[in-house]
Amino acid sequence: MELDLEGTHADRSYATLVSLIVPRPIAWVTTVNPDGVVNAAPFSFFNVLGANPPIVGICPGDREDGTPKDTARNIRSTHEFVVNLVDEDLAEAMNRTAASVAHGVSELAATGLSTRASSVVRPPRIAESPASLECREWGNSANRGQPPHDRAGEANSRAR
């Protein structure tokens, strides 16, 4: 099978990619805005990109109106984030953090979860997560694409 995801099949590129590349790990990313508010959001466009140096990448898209999601905005501002891994027991709470809330409102408040201070970055870890990667931004890119997923940002980071 041959697919042209930028031409003939562009309208189905998202659905095609997410159905072909499985299983996809979930990056449950915590960031902190300049006012100290913790943001938590899940991203299925996430993976390990290298081991030496240890590089992980996440791709937060923009909101429907084209403005950056809080995760991307916070990473651009602070250059730090934490990838908290999700197990089956945390799946429901993780799904609740996918809700759109007003800028500056922490999604964690509705989950009953707690945070724990990170060792090398300002954003906290989700205490209940089985493993967390504390990350400092190593590089990023912004790509223009087709609606409705018309912009994807990528943040690559060194994991510690």
Handedness of CA 118, 119, 121, 122 (dihedral sign): positive
The arithmetic mean of pLDDT across residues 33-47, rounded, is 89
Domains and CATH numbers, the chain: 25-159 (2.30.110.10)
Give dist(CA 109, CA 128) in Å, integer: 14
Please give the model's pTM, rounded to 2 decimal places.
0.81
Name residues whose C-beta falls within 8 Å of residue 148's C-beta, 6 or more positions apart in sequence.
64
The arithmetic mean of pLDDT across residues 112-126, rounded, is 95
Q: Is 29 left (phi over 0), alpha (psi -120 to 50) or beta?
A: beta
Q: Answer yes or no: are the C-beta atoms of 126 and 113 closer than 8 Å.
A: yes
